[in-house]
Chains A and B, each alone.
Chain A
Amino acid sequence: MTTTETETVTLTIDGIEVTAPKGEILIRTCERLGIIVPRFCDHPLLEPAGACRQCLVEVEMGGRPMPKPQASCTMTVADGMVVKTQHTSPVADKAQQGVMELLLINHPLDCPICDKGGECPLQNQAMSTGRTDSRFVETKRTFPKPLPISSQVLLDRERCVLCQRCTRFSDEIAGDPFIDLLERGANQQIGTAEDKPFQSYFSGNTIQICPVGALTSAAYRFRSRPFDLKSTPSVCEHCSSGCASRTDTRRGQVMRKLAGNDPEVNEEWLCDKGRFAFRYLGAKQRITRPLLRDESGQLVEVSWTEALRVAAEGLLAARGNRGIGVLAGGRLTREDAYAYAKFARVAAGTHDVDFRARPHSAEELAFLQTQLTPTVTFAAVEAAPSVLTVGMDLEEESGILFLRVRKAVRKHGQRVFTLGQWSTPGVEKTHATLIKSVPGAEASVLRELSVGGELVDALSATGSVILVGDRAAEVPGLHSAVAELATRTGAQVAWVPRRAGDRGALEVGAVPTLLPGGRPVTDAAARAEVERAWGVTLSAEPGRSTDEILAAAASGALSGLVVGGVDPHDLADPAAALAGLANVGFLVSLEIMTSAVTELADVVLPVAPDAHRAGTYVNWEGRHRPFAPSLDGGGVLPDCRVLDTLAVEMDVDLFTQTPSAAAGDLDRLGPYTGTFTAPTERPGSTPRPAQVGSAVLATWRQLLDDGALQVDEPALAGTARAPRVRANAATAERLGLTEGGQASVATDRGAITLPVELADLPDGVVWLPAHSPGSQVRSTLGVGHGALVRVTAG
């Protein structure tokens, strides 16, 4: 990017001369001067509306006063403009007082029971700009309230000041125009269509930007007063975007989460999962005391001392036997992931460590090595002329990045290409060109398009970006095809994993081939740096991947496993994974909640969820997102501390007693300076054209589904997209399916039955949500994306 000199104008506000960038909205210039003009409809990230008229100021242009006060939220600055706000203009002051009085005539006096009371722009500005008494003695407008406009969002129309922030957000930002203005004049109100609730993955933002208490959430309504809350800046744990958030707690409980304002990352938005999915903290599945499997096979609570002693003894024995594997999971902070990486090498004496708790491949690992120095940012994606997404559905798998791409589409007509199977809502809302592929054939399709044409032309525009999701690992050759396309077009490639910890875990060496900083296990010099720092000798032989580790455990080739935050049902073959976990001699689980792993573990060590720990997520951009605990105590410790203590019991020092100690130890190592070459794997065989009664399966997860961290959130779950089997009309007909009727998708392992919805999939393909209620694809069918399945009606 070249820096161009911004054109500026000079104007006077309340007697102060100020220089402002040309085109700046006047109310923003006032803000920069510290002059706060009251407002309701204005929001810096929404198009100006000029609807509430609260921000009226007096303006003089070219020496001539404008005849009417002007809305400072719609007027752009100009050279020589003279502005008088309420501080210096009796006219502006009177106009603002007048509008405030009008806003209040129909506003109920229910502040004492309103969620917004205490943090309400209307309340605050009524104090600063309003009268002490009302001249309105007439009848107030009343509405039945509250009106649920979704299972999560409730609307109180009496409190609404019709600023339209919510409708503008839904239309402009989210692309979900499911709330709108209804009726006219004094009867005008926000509402939904009778047949469709406000089903948006981003609906919670409307609650946060509502300047009154008109929109409230089922999750927080009547739970607390703002002034009873303790607020801590936090970072969202739900995906790899690393959104800035704010966690509000009261008496040791998280009451709500709000979006933080980080213009470089999430701007001021959060997806609803990030906002509402925090009740897992208090779920009955939470583990807060160490557990030990007793002689009867039951897990029983024991002291930390005993648990650590048993774990250490078991692991030492396993190490002495056939060795230990370490599965690090995907939700670790960089400090915790480092502790796993180091524990594996130092305490377990192995490179058998992998963070990839999902389908993965060696090709992927080779690709990830080229992603150690990320170059793409949210801002770069926004500025990109063209974007291609591979192995990901933006809205479902990276909601905030989806919003940024949508913004770019709206603001400068960014061209979006999506390599996928059907026109999902996210595809439609980014006006994306869908590059349709039979599941599993994506690599071949991409290679064919790499020869030249529209896609190559678009991506050849400087600054274009290819976004690669972690599902690319499910298609052999796809990472190689991406690398080839990137070379050909000059487009930058960004890896956007789904989970919050993946990028950090990669960087700190929680993979079988890399040491911290991306040092190859096979690079003697790089290895030696780590050996010196850690005071150990490391093998030059790379370790095994997650699947290989579990297979080794199943076959008895490994004697012990340390598993942190892995759900075997997320892996390519859950049955094989479970077999590994069940058959391994000794299993230590570090977990926040009971899981399929704790079910089988010999020792369960509770670890701290985000609210109770400090640490740093590394988001997909490679940006460090440090956070502090938002709740004190809780009797749980971060993974790095538990591993450090466990290592001490095994007579080894990790120096990861605290996250900051772990970070210090890690940062001393610094980054690797060598380079890697991209993978060059050929595409796998294209799935066979479906035979009678069968189809090729496409599948991925939806944003709101049966994810472990979404437990105990019925209001949130109510806004999830309904699980459906999707196929195109011809395929449905061939398979005997009818829209709205039931279809059964089956393998020898099991079957999933859901209602059918038609979509524009390729012929012979059916789609299922991967992990939604009634549709647990991997664990039920034992197969995934690209597999052949049997499909029948009913």
Chain B
Amino acid sequence: MSERAMSGFDELTHVRAKEVIARYPVARSALLPLLHLVQSVEGCVSQDGIRFCAELLDLSTAEVSAVATFYTMYKRTPCGEHLVSVCTNTLCAALGGDDIYRRLSERLGVGHEETAGEPGTTGSLTLEHAECLAACDLAPVIQVNYEYFDNQTVESAERLVEALQRGEKPHPTRGAPLTDLRTVELELAGFTEDPTVAAAAVAGNSAAPETLRGTMIAAERGWAAPAFPDEIPALPEKS
């Protein structure tokens, strides 16, 4: 049984798994990143993936299943090339998020956590409605493979999805040049394949106008925080 479970994952994945475990003072802390690693290989967390983690961390498969089923980012069935997450929490929904989700769902003919197209093939998309994605000043927001596509409308979202289905990779408004879900899961586990790509990814835009609004207004109006003292003040005596 153990050989079969381990065989689904190649040598590199084993090496990476060991590396993940080595990051933490206690091995079990590696479980969440390991499950991301499993998703980068399988496109979901399968029973083999659960056994893989269980054996590496000396846990029962029930214990790993308990963790894998708790978190929404771990998917049970193979995902598409891309994961399209539409925020439908209150604020995004009030600004159009519900309509966006409904339209994409109709257009793709799939519901929550369902995949349009053959999972893993180019242009295949897994759709989900997401809870608050912490980009409320840019609502309504969509993430594709967790990269931000901000200030969406029904129309822009449709265009985005069409482009993805055609195999194109539109640039997110904030985030790195689009790759695919597996690459991103690998990155969440802490690994990147290509240093050049990684550097470009880090450099991906992060500052939307909304992000800088306060800073810009302050600059325009000459507002600032009180100036620091010229010298760093001496630390207080310990009490």
Q: Do chains A and B touch in the complex (CB under 8 A)?
A: yes
Interfacial residues, chain A to chain B (CB-CB below 8 A): 177-184, 191-196, 739-740
Q: Which of A184, A196, A739, A740 contacts B60 (CB 8 A)?
A: A196
Q: Which of B1, B51, B60, B70 contacts A177 (CB 8 A)?
A: B60
CA of A184 to CA of B70, assembled, Å: 5
A183-B70, A184-B69, A193-B50 given as contacts; is B62 within 8 A of A178 (CB)? yes
B66 to A180, Cβ gap below 8 A?
A: yes
- The reply to whether the CB of B65 lies closer than 8 angstroms to some CB of chain A is yes
The 3 closest A-B pairs by CB, nearest first: A193-B61, A180-B66, A193-B62
Instruction: Output the least CB separation between B16 and chain A (Å).
Output: 23
A181 contact set on B, CB distance < 8 A: 66, 70
Per-position 1/0 for B31-73, Cβ under 8 A of A: 0000000000000000100110000000111111110011000
A193 to B70, Cβ gap below 8 A?
A: no
- The reply to whether the CB of B106 lies closer than 8 angstroms to some CB of chain A is no
Interface centre among A182, A183, A192, A193 (most CB of B within 10 A): A193
Q: Which of A184, A195, A740 contacts B61 (CB 8 A)?
A: A195
- The reply to whether the CB of B3 lies closer than 8 angstroms to some CB of chain A is yes
A194 contact set on B, CB distance < 8 A: 47, 50, 61, 65
B47 contact set on A, CB distance < 8 A: 193-195
B69 to A196, Cβ gap below 8 A?
A: no
Instruction: Output the least CB separation between B7 and chain A (Å).
Output: 13
CA of A183 to CA of B69, assembled, Å: 5
Q: Using CB atoms, name the residue of chain B closest to A181.
A: B66
B65 to A191, Cβ gap below 8 A?
A: yes
Q: Using CB atoms, name the residue of chain A closest to B67.
A: A180
How many residue pairs link A and B with beta carbons under 8 A? The number is 46
* Interface of B (DSSP majority class): helix
CA of A17 to CA of B66, assembled, Å: 44
Instruction: Output the least CB separation between B56 and chain A (Å).
Output: 15
B3 contact set on A, CB distance < 8 A: 739
CA of A180 to CA of B61, assembled, Å: 10
CA of A742 to CA of B81, assembled, Å: 43
CA of A179 to CA of B65, assembled, Å: 10
A192 contact set on B, CB distance < 8 A: 62, 65
B60 to A178, Cβ gap below 8 A?
A: yes
Residues of chain B from 201 to 218 with CB closer than 8 A to chain A in the complex: none
CA of A193 to CA of B65, assembled, Å: 6
A179 to B62, Cβ gap below 8 A?
A: yes
18 A-B interface contacts by CB (under 8 A): A178-B60, A179-B62, A180-B60, A180-B63, A181-B66, A182-B65, A183-B69, A184-B69, A191-B65, A193-B47, A193-B64, A193-B65, A194-B50, A195-B1, A195-B50, A195-B51, A195-B61, A196-B62
A180 contact set on B, CB distance < 8 A: 60, 62-63, 65-66
A195-B61, A196-B61, A739-B3 given as contacts; is B51 within 8 A of A182 (CB)? no
Instruction: Output the least CB separation between B75 and chain A (Å).
Output: 14
Instruction: Output the least CB separation between A740 and chain B (Å).
Output: 8
Interface centre among B51, B61, B62, B66 (most CB of A within 10 A): B62
Q: Using CB atoms, name the residue of chain A closest to B4.
A: A740
B69 to A193, Cβ gap below 8 A?
A: no
Residues of chain B from 1 to 45 with CB closer than 8 A to chain A in the complex: 1, 3
Instruction: Output the least CB separation between A722 and chain B (Å).
Output: 11
CA of A251 to CA of B70, assembled, Å: 47
Instruction: Output the least CB separation between B61 and chain A (Å).
Output: 3
CA of A194 to CA of B47, assembled, Å: 7
Instruction: Output the least CB separation between B77 and chain A (Å).
Output: 14
Instruction: Output the least CB separation between B233 and chain A (Å).
Output: 39
CA of A183 to CA of B68, assembled, Å: 8
CA of A181 to CA of B65, assembled, Å: 9
Interfacial residues, chain B to chain A (CB-CB below 8 A): 1, 3, 47, 50-51, 59-66, 69-70
CA of A177 to CA of B63, assembled, Å: 7
Instruction: Output the least CB separation between A689 and chain B (Å).
Output: 29
A177 contact set on B, CB distance < 8 A: 59-60, 62-63
Instruction: Output the least CB separation between A792 and chain B (Å).
Output: 22
Instruction: Output the least CB separation between B38 and chain A (Å).
Output: 15
B64 contact set on A, CB distance < 8 A: 193
CA of A290 to CA of B193, assembled, Å: 81
Q: Using CB atoms, name the residue of chain B closest to A171.
A: B63
A193 contact set on B, CB distance < 8 A: 47, 50, 60-62, 64-65
B60 to A182, Cβ gap below 8 A?
A: no
CA of A671 to CA of B64, assembled, Å: 56
CA of A193 to CA of B52, assembled, Å: 13
CA of A180 to CA of B70, assembled, Å: 11
CA of A193 to CA of B49, assembled, Å: 12
Instruction: Output the least CB separation between B69 and chain A (Å).
Output: 5
Instruction: Output the least CB separation between A415 and chain B (Å).
Output: 20
Instruction: Output the least CB separation between B132 and chain A (Å).
Output: 16
CA of A147 to CA of B59, assembled, Å: 23
Instruction: Output the least CB separation between A679 and chain B (Å).
Output: 41
CA of A193 to CA of B51, assembled, Å: 10
CA of A506 to CA of B156, assembled, Å: 87
CA of A172 to CA of B145, assembled, Å: 39
Given A181-B66, A195-B50, 7 further pairs, Cβ under 8 A:
A177-B62, A179-B62, A180-B63, A180-B65, A183-B69, A184-B70, A194-B47
B60 contact set on A, CB distance < 8 A: 177-178, 180, 193, 196
Instruction: Output the least CB separation between A194 and chain B (Å).
Output: 5
A740 contact set on B, CB distance < 8 A: 1
Interface centre among A180, A184, A192 (most CB of B within 10 A): A180
A191 contact set on B, CB distance < 8 A: 62, 65
CA of A181 to CA of B67, assembled, Å: 9
CA of A74 to CA of B69, assembled, Å: 27
A182 to B61, Cβ gap below 8 A?
A: no
CA of A23 to CA of B61, assembled, Å: 36
CA of A200 to CA of B32, assembled, Å: 27
CA of A699 to CA of B64, assembled, Å: 33
B50 contact set on A, CB distance < 8 A: 193-195
Instruction: Output the least CB separation between A163 and chain B (Å).
Output: 16
Q: Using CB atoms, name the residue of chain B closest to A170.
A: B62
Instruction: Output the least CB separation between B37 and chain A (Å).
Output: 19
CA of A194 to CA of B45, assembled, Å: 13
CA of A184 to CA of B72, assembled, Å: 9
A183 contact set on B, CB distance < 8 A: 69-70
Q: Using CB atoms, name the residue of chain A closest to B71.
A: A184
CA of A192 to CA of B65, assembled, Å: 8
CA of A194 to CA of B1, assembled, Å: 14
CA of A193 to CA of B62, assembled, Å: 4
Instruction: Output the least CB separation between A335 and chain B (Å).
Output: 45
Interface centre among B3, B51, B64, B69 (most CB of A within 10 A): B69
Instruction: Output the least CB separation between B66 and chain A (Å).
Output: 4
CA of A178 to CA of B66, assembled, Å: 10
CA of A384 to CA of B59, assembled, Å: 28
CA of A387 to CA of B236, assembled, Å: 54
A739 contact set on B, CB distance < 8 A: 3
Instruction: Output the least CB separation between A339 and chain B (Å).
Output: 48
Interface centre among A181, A192, A195 (most CB of B within 10 A): A195
CA of A193 to CA of B59, assembled, Å: 12
Q: Using CB atoms, name the residue of chain A closest to B2.
A: A739
CA of A195 to CA of B2, assembled, Å: 12
CA of A193 to CA of B64, assembled, Å: 8
B63 contact set on A, CB distance < 8 A: 177, 180
CA of A192 to CA of B50, assembled, Å: 12
CA of A182 to CA of B76, assembled, Å: 13
Instruction: Output the least CB separation between B3 and chain A (Å).
Output: 7
CA of A425 to CA of B17, assembled, Å: 26
Interface centre among B64, B66, B70 (most CB of A within 10 A): B66
Instruction: Output the least CB separation between A719 and chain B (Å).
Output: 15
Q: Using CB atoms, name the residue of chain B closest to A149.
A: B62
Q: Using CB atoms, name the residue of chain B closest to A189.
A: B69
A179 contact set on B, CB distance < 8 A: 62
Instruction: Output the least CB separation between B200 and chain A (Å).
Output: 36
Q: Using CB atoms, name the residue of chain A closest to B70.
A: A184
CA of A226 to CA of B69, assembled, Å: 37
Instruction: Output the least CB separation between B71 and chain A (Å).
Output: 8
CA of A183 to CA of B67, assembled, Å: 8
